[in-house]
Amino acid sequence: LTGVPREQRAFQYLLAHAIPGDPRHVLQTFDQWCYHCEHLSCVGPVKGRIVERLLEERAPLRVLELGTYCGYGTVLLAQGLPPGARLYTVEGDPRHAAVAEKVIRLAGFDEQTVELIVGPSEEVIPRLKEKHGLTKADFVFMDHWKRCYLRDLQLLESHQLLAEGATILADNVLFPGAPHFLQYAKTCGKYRCRVHRASLEY
């Protein structure tokens, strides 16, 4: 009714309530908005703990996120990076990317730590090496369109963008579901698979 998209409304709430430069507080403020005001399909705190634990275990230096949306997952990933690491995040919707950019900078991450790339993942992935300097990703977080998971994983493979022993973390593979991606990951022989049980966000 206001003509202001809900992602923008969430950002206005962040501006009013979040502590700038404090990524954990930015995420908590996001959670408050999503629990009590309007639902946004961010990762959320429950699944967020799985992401944090895996980052701590793997300590990746080159991280790729597919599906920035409002920047919640980006801030979550960026705050768990070891020193000297870099995060590349890809968002296809320019309006969402505009909000995410402000959220990422509000949380205190500069362009040296987090590079936001705007464009469809199938166009961005083949250019990651030459245009953005990502030679190999140690950790990939997929949280974009579920129907694109398999295509984009195979694009990463064909452009040799996955480091040896890389971790691929994909959200919502059971619901709404990415059955072809799951089938491929389990049967192609390149990956060891594990399903993390979690509730839907918020």
User: Which of the residues are catalytic?
Assistant: 143, 146, 171-172, 201
Q: Please enumerate in sequence order all residues whose Cβ is within 8 A of that of 137, keeping only pairs 6 or more positions apart, or say none.
A: 60, 62, 63, 64, 88, 156, 161, 162, 163, 166
Is the Cβ–Cβ distance between 162 and 136 less than 8 Å? yes
Q: Which residues of 36-45 are buried (b: 16+ CB within 10 A; e: fewer)?
A: eeeebbbbbb
The residue with tokens 């962040």 is: 14
DSSP state of 160: T
Per DSSP, the three-state class of 198 is coil
Q: How far is CA 15 from the centre of its chain?
A: 21
What's the rounded Cα separation, in Å, for the pair 170 and 179? 12
